[in-house]
Amino acid sequence: MIDEMILNYILLFVFLEVYEVSWQKAPTMMEMLFRMNIYYKKNIVLFLIMQPTFYFSIGFVMLTNSNPYALLLLLIKTFDVALKIVMIEQVFKKKTLTKELINILLTPIGKYLPYIGLTIYPFLIALSFN
């Protein structure tokens, strides 16, 4: 049986991840970047505040004494936030896009793809306590 403490961390993370997906979700990657750019243009700190699972991951690594699975979670979330920032800069500031990147950004994404983190991350949280 899963421990109540582990379940609480998983539920908190799921809640925060659903929040992130709710404001980022769009039919294409370009539209997702556009939504994120709204907050990024206002203030990068605001944009970073809108990524609560990143902060959860930092705290979780400290809580689990740098468990490898918690570190993997932090690594994935750090890569996620960094990639978003790089893509926003590339698309909206530098405006230097290749044809291939344009095609990728305009390709429709699956209805459930934004929710993939809800399957992967809770598993890493549970493994961090074993």
Domains in the chain, number:
1
List CB contacts of 86: < 8 A, sequence separation 6 or more. none
Helices assigned H by DSSP within the chain: 4-24, 29-42, 44-49, 52-63, 68-88, 99-106, 117-128
Q: What is the largest CA-CA distance in the chain?
A: 52
Read off the pLDDT of residues 94-109 as tens digits, 9 standing for 90 and up.
Answer: 888 889 989 999 999 9
Mean pLDDT of the chain: 93
Distance (Å, rounded) from C-alpha 125 to C-alpha 123? 5
- Is the pTM value of this prediction over 0.85? yes
Q: Range of 118's domain?
A: 4-128
Q: What is the pLDDT of residue 1?
A: 56
List the Cα angle 111/118/124 in 5-degree steps.
145
- Report pLDDT digits (tens) over 61-89: 999 999 999 999 999 999 999 999 999 99
Percent of residues, the chain, with pLDDT higher than 90 = 85
Q: Is the pLDDT of residue 130 over 90?
A: no
